[in-house]
Structure 1
């Protein structure tokens, strides 16, 4: 299978599993083992493809859709911190050269920081606060946030509140959910134990 078709196939499988788990509500109660299994299998294959290709698949090599699929697969490799971290520097460089979509690289930079417990650069990750409201987590230099977002082809943020309490899902116990999240970040190696 050509790399382009394989990347597109993997992201379609990812979306199908996510949709199935969301339809039953299972997706919203921690990192579902079935979803993690799919994410890890795809991440391992993506790593192989990167090695075979001697670099991350760019728009010029596989087209924009497959490049985005590869970036999304990488963003979903959340229980494999070493892999995500290993790609950051190269992807930042490729984004500067406009060889891959910048907004996904902004998400990668932020996602790594989010899981490590650091402030974000671009404000692309949100989490439930102690009141059960989904908000953008802390960002560096908030006054410069929209400028940085624009540089990465992201829209401006006018309010850091993402959703009110009346959305589809809110954790019944935000404090418990947060503690489970912290424990997961330690177990997977994002944060020191």
Structure 2
């Protein structure tokens, strides 16, 4: 029986709509900004598990199979599976190869590669992740060979970065205690398996 990619694409987009709806509710209550909200994690894992089942049974939902919008949503669901390191890592190799043939958007693959490195405590390649530093400044976390960063970003269809600093000290969701927040974040990376030892 042939794979019904139209239905699979619709399933993927439905999951992303649910993800967005839950995020909006949690943002309105403030819960979204107090660590990783359990309700958000539950939705992320549910969707990632369903997406993995679809991929295992039918293959990756590429642009030529489900269209660009659904392929992007599939990448977004992968990016949101932050408490399932094994899944995200397994998808990196798959999507890097697909990006070479234009079957998944390069910019989302760059974000996946960086996000894995970010949670593992390694330097990013493309500078797509930011975090609060101990001074309460939101900035891009460490990147490899900063002088060639924008050249690498251009290769992955990402716009240039003019500054690694994202926002000054003020802001609606500035953490009251950035150092404590970072310690909690590192503890979380150890708990879910991104890291085996604590890093700065």
Q: How does 1:1-193 map to 2 (within 5 A)?
A: 2-53=7-58, 55-193=59-197
TM-score (norm 1): 0.98
Secondary structure of the residue aligned to 1:162 is: strand
Equivalences, count: 192
- How far apart are residue 168 of structure 1 and its match? 1.7
- Structure 1: unaligned runs, 5 residues or longer: none
CA RMSD of aligned residues (A): 0.9
- How far apart are residue 148 of structure 1 and its match? 0.3
Residues 16-46 of structure 1 show CA distances to partners (whole Å, capped at 9, x for unaligned) of 0001001111100100000000000000001
- How far apart are residue 165 of structure 1 and its match? 2.1
- Structure 2: unaligned runs, 5 residues or longer: 1-5
Residues 100-142 of structure 1 show CA distances to partners (whole Å, capped at 9, x for unaligned) of 1000000000000000000000000000000111110000000
TM-score (norm 2): 0.94
